[in-house]
Chains A and B, each alone.
Chain A
């Protein structure tokens, strides 16, 4: 069935390193992708999004890359900080009749060591 998944469930990095979190999706009709960050005890928080007509989008310290050929999405965090420690989710929206419906991946736990 249609799904969004992550290759690595956990990622541990040192403070100052760059982090890359990966996500694979299977629904070729998906046209909008979002990365969310969820800190312990809190709700998911929007980080960055990208539409299917783009292959790269940059924010503050974060970059999302989209490779539609292999249905792969990644989130790059530059100069990772302890405050970046959280669970990161990718989500997709297939558009069309999937009105506002996001399908979330399983999540990757990012741990940043000082």
Chain B
């Protein structure tokens, strides 16, 4: 009965590889997000989708491409991985994405290590 789930939990890969992280939410929410948390615990939003439509697209290298096949899923594909991509990536979801009321529920995170 996990609300927001991510796979894999850990991902170790070589520079230059392409990898994907999957996220699913069973809360019936319309909006999903991807965040990056660096080694100093700083959390920064990368993308958000509302009903499969891209809403927020922060300054993120175009090697990162989110894909939302349906409103319950938001996957993150990363091309040509670099050392600086090493971080914990969190998926989150909220009911509507309204800025003044919605609580965002976070997944358990995916720790990506690029060697």
* Interface flag for B101 (CB, 8 Å): yes
Within 8 A of B (CB), among A73-114: 87, 89, 93-96, 98-102, 104, 106-107
Q: Is B41 a contact of A46 with CB atoms below 8 Å?
A: no
Q: Is A100 a contact of B42 with CB atoms below 8 Å?
A: no
The count of chain A contact residues (Cβ–Cβ below 8 Å) is 27
Q: Which of B13-21, B79-87, B106-114 contacts A (4 or more CB under 8 A)?
A: B106-114
* Residues of chain B lying within 8 A (CB to CB) of residue A68: none
> What CA separation (Å) do A38 and B37 show in the bound complex?
12
> What CA separation (Å) do A95 and B41 show in the bound complex?
24
> What CA separation (Å) do A43 and B104 show in the bound complex?
11
* Residues of chain B lying within 8 A (CB to CB) of residue A49: 103
Q: Is B104 a contact of A102 with CB atoms below 8 Å?
A: yes
Q: Is A100 a contact of B107 with CB atoms below 8 Å?
A: no
Q: Is A93 a contact of B105 with CB atoms below 8 Å?
A: no
Given contacts A41-B108, A99-B48, 5 further A-B pairs with CB under 8 A are A31-B100, A43-B106, A43-B107, A100-B48, A100-B50
Which A residues fall within an 8 A CB radius of B? 31-32, 34, 36, 38, 41-46, 49, 51, 87, 89, 93-96, 98-102, 104, 106-107
A sample of 17 inter-chain contacts (CB < 8 A) reads A38-B41, A41-B109, A44-B43, A45-B106, A46-B104, A51-B100, A87-B41, A96-B99, A99-B50, A100-B31, A100-B33, A100-B98, A101-B56, A101-B99, A102-B45, A104-B42, A107-B42
Which B residues fall within an 8 A CB radius of A? 4, 31, 33, 40-45, 48, 50, 55-56, 90, 92, 94, 97-109
